[in-house]
């Protein structure tokens, strides 16, 4: 069965650079969630989209923005990266009344 | 506001021992969903179980079992006859709403389980 795809799987950036993370939900899933998991921390909800509209917002910094496109894939854009942005970023898509998580993108900011 | 507490930060057991991971939650909603996820060292989040607030029946899946008690707002997870491959961080999570658990998840801090041979 198809799963949630995230790219890239690993990303290394320097401070003040920008990064774009991509999420491809399971086909026919219309809702996407983004979570951030810092080292040794639990995943924290960032933002979600339903039918290409933002549906909920969590503790997402103003430096971050996200959108969902017509094909339902989503992108998380991160600007002016800081060392504290180093984390595992998960995308999840909703289907069958359940969230399915992608493998995550590990972002390292140096 | 919703909150999930996993009081056990780390647990270490010897293979074949039984181990229970505790989870206590807070919510004002009458409709909510509880989850357990496993996160091995590789980092992915592996779904283990989802339970809605109206179903207090305990569940067993192989060596795994879950005890849901609304009276104490707890959703505990027991691994019977633990194995080294069970070593991971386990997260309990909560979502509110009535869309089948499809709302955002609030996670506990996680319990790191180490099973020694």
- Could you read off the pLDDT tens digit of each residue along chain A, which spans 110 residues? 689 999 999 999 999 999 999 999 999 888 899 999 999 999 999 999 988 899 889 989 999 999 999 999 999 999 999 999 999 999 999 876 678 899 999 999 99
Residue A99: predicted pLDDT: 83
pLDDT band at B96 (very low <50, low <70, confident <90, very high): confident
Residues near B71 by Cβ (< 8 Å), separated by ≥ 6?
none
| Token output for A31 | 């809702």
How many angstroms separate the most distant Cα atoms in chain A?
Answer: 40
Place of tokens 């057991």: B13
Compute CA distances A43 → A33, A46, A85, B13, B43, whole Å. Answer: 12, 9, 13, 25, 11
Residue B92: predicted pLDDT: 98
Q: What is the pLDDT of residues B16-34, one digit of tens each?
A: 999 999 999 999 988 899 9
Residue A85: predicted pLDDT: 98
> Is the Cβ pair A31, B102 closer than 8 Å?
yes
Separation between Cα atoms, residue B31 and residue B25, nearest integer Å: 13
Residues of B whose CB is below 8 A from A33: 104-105
Residues near A40 by Cβ (< 8 Å), separated by ≥ 6?
none
Q: What is the pLDDT of residues B45-90, one digit of tens each?
A: 999 999 989 888 888 899 999 999 999 999 999 999 999 999 999 9
How far, in whole angstroms, is CA A24 from its chain's centroid? 10
Cβ neighbourhood burial of B87 (10 Å; 0-12, 13-18, 19+): middle
Tell which residue, A105, A93, A86, A71, has the closest CA to residue A26.
Answer: A93
pLDDT band at B103 (very low <50, low <70, confident <90, very high): confident
Task: Tell me the DSSP string of B34-94.
Answer: EEEEEE-TT---EEEEEEETT----EEETTEEEEEEGGGTEEEEEESS--GGG-EEEEEEE
Residue of chain B whose Cα is closest to the Cα of A96: B100
Q: Is the pLDDT of residue B99 over 70?
A: no
Residue of chain B whose Cα is closest to the Cα of A37: B43
> Is the Cβ pair A100, B47 closer than 8 Å?
yes
Residues A31, A23: contact at Cβ < 8 Å?
no
Q: How many alpha carbons lie under 13 Å from residue B10 in its C-beta half-sphere?
A: 4
Residues of B whose CB is below 8 A from A96: 100
Residue B98: predicted pLDDT: 60
Residue A12: predicted pLDDT: 98
Name the range with the highest mean pLDDT among B45-49, B59-63, B92-96, B110-114: B110-114
CA angle B1, A77, B43 (to 5 degrees): 65
Residue B106: predicted pLDDT: 94
> Is the Cβ pair A99, B91 closer than 8 Å?
no
Q: Which of B102, B111, B112 to mutate to test the interface with A (most CBs of A within 10 A)?
A: B102
Residues A32, A53: contact at Cβ < 8 Å?
no
Q: Which of A31, A43, A59, A92 to mutate to test the interface with B (most CBs of B within 10 A)?
A: A43
Q: Is the pLDDT of residue B101 over 60?
A: no
Residue of chain B whose Cα is closest to the Cα of A101: B45
């Amino acid at each position: 069965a198809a799963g949630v795809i995230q790219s890239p799987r690993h990303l290394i950036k320097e401070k003040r650079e920008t990064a774009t993370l991509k999420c491809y939900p399971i086909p026919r899933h219309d809702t996407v969630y983004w979570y951030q998991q810092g080292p040794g921390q639990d995943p924290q909800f960032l933002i979600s989209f339903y039918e290409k509209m933002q549906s909920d917002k969590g503790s997402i910094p103003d430096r971050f923005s996200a959108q969902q496109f017509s094909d339902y894939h989503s992108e998380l854009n991160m600007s002016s990266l800081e060392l504290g942005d180093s984390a595992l970023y998960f995308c999840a898509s909703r289907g069958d009344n359940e969230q399915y998580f992608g493998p995550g993108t590990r972002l390292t900011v140096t | 506001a919703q909150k999930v507490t996993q009081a056990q930060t780390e647990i270490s057991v010897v293979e074949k021992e039984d181990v229970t991971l505790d989870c206590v939650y807070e919510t004002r909603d009458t409709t909510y969903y509880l989850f357990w996820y496993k996160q091995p060292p590789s980092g992915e989040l592996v779904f283990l179980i989802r339970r809605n607030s109206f179903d207090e029946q305990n569940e067993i899946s192989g060596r795994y079992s879950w005890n849901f008690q609304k009276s104490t707002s707890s959703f505990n997870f027991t691994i019977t006859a633990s194995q080294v491959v069970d070593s991971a961080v386990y997260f309990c999570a909560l979502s509110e709403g009535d869309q089948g658990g499809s709302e955002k998840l609030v996670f506990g801090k996680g319990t790191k389980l180490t099973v020694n041979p």
